[in-house]
Amino acid sequence: MYAIPPVLEALPRMTQPGGLIVSIISGTWAKVTVEMETDQFTLDEANFLIPWLVEIFQKLELLRQEYTTIQERLADIEKA
């Protein structure tokens, strides 16, 4: 499970459409919307997110590789 970084918890939640998907909480995606014209990250806030983003991208890469392997297996089964 992922926790929302404290820096994101502090951002205002907006009711208008749009926003950023930031984390999984209890198996569901938490959505925090940010109006970028008025609310921008400071350099420290952005730097704080880097390790979290790296972890997410690494997990996505593993999932992409798994998906590719499954697609290849399905293609082999269809040929048989």
Query: Residue 61 domain-assigned?
Result: yes
Contact in structure between 72 and 57 (CB atoms under 8 Å)? no
- Quote the longest CA-to-CA distance of the chain: 58
5-64: pLDDT as tens digits: 555 555 544 433 344 544 444 444 555 555 555 567 788 888 888 898 999 999 999 999
- Distance (Å, whole) CA 70 – CA 41: 39
pLDDT computed for residue 44 by the predictor: 85
- Domains in the chain: how many in total? 1
Structural domain contains residue 55: yes
Domain that holds residue 24: 6-79
22/16 Cα distance (integer angstroms): 17
Is residue 64 one of the residues assigned to a domain?
A: yes
Which tokens hold the place of 14?
A: 């907006």
Is 31 domain-assigned? yes
Q: What is the structure's pLDDT at 17?
A: 39
Q: Please check whether residue 1 lies inside any domain of the structure.
A: no
* pLDDT (0 to 100) of residue 16: 35
